[in-house]
Structure formats: C-alpha cells, structure tokens
C-alpha cells in the first residue's frame, strides 16, 4: 500500500530492537556515539532529530546542559516519554517535530545529531550556533545489497546516486564547512531466521521508495520463498550474515 513518508514511518511505530538477537562486527574506526562526545562539553545544548523512542539519547548521549529530542511520530514520542520517566533524567525534552519543517530557535544548539532519518541541512544550519556541529549517521544505497538484489527492490535500489552523496552535497550546499563523509562497513549476524525477519519487518530495507525523489512510499510483503533462499545462502557458524553499508557525516557551521 502506498503512503506518504509521515504515515509510512508512523505505521512502523516500533523502533526498539532489544528483542532481536544479533551480533555485529565493525570494520571502520568511526563510532556515532563517540563522535558526539568529541564535540560537546557539560554546558552544551544538543538537538537530536528522528529520536524514535529516545533509546539512543537516554542510554548513549553524554551528560550535557540540555537535550531536545524530536520525532514526527506521536507514537514514538509517547514511547520516549515513557522511557524518560523510567530514566529519571531531567535535562532531556522529547517532542513532536517534522525534520523538514523545523521550529527550533536560530543560533541555539551546539550540536545537532541525526541518525537514520531525513534532514533539512539549511534549517539545521540556522538552528546551530556559530562553530556548532552536525553529526549524521545514515543508511547507504548499497546497504544489504545482496538481499536487495535477490528481492529486486529496497531502499534506494533504483536510485543512481548513493544516499550518502545526496546528504553530503546537501550539507555542503547549506553552508557547512570542513564536511567529512565516512563510509561505515558493518557485518551483522542474526541468531535465527526469526530475528532477521523481525529486522526486515521493522525497517524499510526491502520497502519500495527512492531517496532521489520526493514521492510515495510503499510497504511490500516479504516473499517467504526468497527470504528462505537468502537464509540458506547466508547462514554461517556465527549466524545469518547481513552486510551493512552505513555512512557518517560531520560538518561545522
């Protein structure tokens, strides 16, 4: 069924992966969470875009003066508020906001973070203080490429330009300087085929949409025969292998 981006991501609703048994091996010496810590001090103000249920912010972000974490899904922000109440933290605010229509104050934040979400780099530039940083972690076109080729579809499958390059150029065009693009190579191993299927059900890896075009998004049922074929061909002693291709971007205002 075709839908717009907001309704598409809201329908997925559950972005917690705690119930999925998976180990990962990183082949790139760049860590999103460690990069965040490098660019802030205890007096910093952070804006986290696409926070989902707030798990990353609550568990991995450094102690700073203020964190505002947003998501355009009301359901996700409700989950984030529940998680915040359990944490007891007082310096974090969760609220609903569309990343592409930001209403945050200008020249306010020391750092803006965005993990696996759409962004409007010029609006991010405006909300950052002079000398502030943007840190992005994204999913690239060649992510899970063997899986996408088998199913003949998936996130950015038909796009000519890699997602990382689209983001990189947009961030430079927004006025950021010293912009770095870092390819991230990860191999994941899923304990069972049920674990892998749960990942595919929760994420847009095999769903039909383009990063190059602002069009409709479509959630497509996963064909069981193709899924079983992938599992058979990629089962190893460590688990069911999935080769991931992410990217990191750091830019300074």
**Per-residue DSSP letters for the chain?**
-EE-HHHHHHHH-----TTS-EEEEE-SS--HHHHHHHT--TT-EEEEES-TTSHHHHHHS---SEEEEEES-HHHHHHHHHHHHHHT-SSEEEEE--TTS--PPTT-EEEEEEESS---HHHHHHHEEEEEEEEEEEE-TTTTHHHHHHHT--BTTT-SS-HHHHHHHHHHHTT-EEEEEEEEEEEEEESSHHHHHHHHHHSSTTSBB-SSS---EE--PPPHHHHHHHHHHHEETTEEEEEEEEEEEEEE-
- Please return the burial class of 107, using the count of CB atoms within 10 Å of its CB with bins 0-12, 13-18 and 19+: exposed
Q: pLDDT value at position 1? A: 46
The whole-angstrom separation of Cα 230 and Cα 215 is: 29
Q: Which domains are delineated in the chain?
A: 2-252 (3.40.50.150)
**Contact in structure between 67 and 57 (CB atoms under 8 Å):** yes
The whole-angstrom separation of Cα 115 and Cα 137 is: 5
- Average pLDDT for runs of 10 along the chain of length 253: 54 66 95 96 97 93 97 90 94 96 97 94 98 97 97 91 95 98 98 95 83 67 96 98 98 98
Which residue(s) pair with 235 in the sheet?
A: 240
Q: pLDDT value at position 18? A: 74
Backbone angles phi, psi at 171, to 5 degrees: -70, -40
Q: pLDDT value at position 155? A: 87
The whole-angstrom separation of Cα 174 and Cα 163 is: 17
Q: pLDDT value at position 207? A: 86
């Amino acid at each position: 069924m075709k839908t717009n981006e907001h309704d598409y991501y809201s329908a997925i609703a559950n972005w917690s992966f705690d119930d999925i048994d998976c180990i990962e091996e990183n082949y790139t010496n760049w860590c999103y969470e460690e990069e965040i810590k490098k660019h802030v001090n205890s007096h910093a103000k952070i804006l986290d875009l696409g926070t989902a249920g707030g798990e990353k912010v609550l568990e991995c972000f450094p102690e700073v003066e203020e964190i505002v974490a947003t998501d355009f899904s009301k359901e996700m922000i409700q989950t984030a508020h529940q998680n915040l109440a359990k944490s007891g933290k007082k310096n974090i605010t969760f609220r609903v906001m569309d990343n592409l229509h930001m209403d945050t104050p200008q020249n306010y934040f020391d750092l803006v973070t965005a993990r696996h979400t759409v962004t409007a780099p010029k609006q991010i530039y405006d909300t950052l203080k002079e000398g502030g940083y943007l840190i992005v972690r994204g999913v690239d076109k060649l992510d899970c490429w063997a899986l996408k080729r088998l199913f003949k579809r998936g996130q950015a499958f038909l796009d000519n330009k890699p997602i990382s390059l689209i983001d990189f150029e947009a961030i430079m065009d927004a006025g950021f300087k010293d912009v770095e693009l870092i390819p991230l190579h990860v191999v994941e191993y899923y304990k069972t085929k049920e674990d892998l299927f749960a990942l595919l059900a929760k994420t847009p890896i095999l769903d039909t949409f383009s990063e190059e075009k602002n069009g409709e998004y479509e959630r497509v049922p996963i064909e069981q025969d193709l899924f079983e074929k992938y599992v058979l061909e990629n089962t190893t002693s460590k688990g069911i292998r999935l080769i991931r291709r992410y990217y990191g971007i750091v830019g300074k205002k």
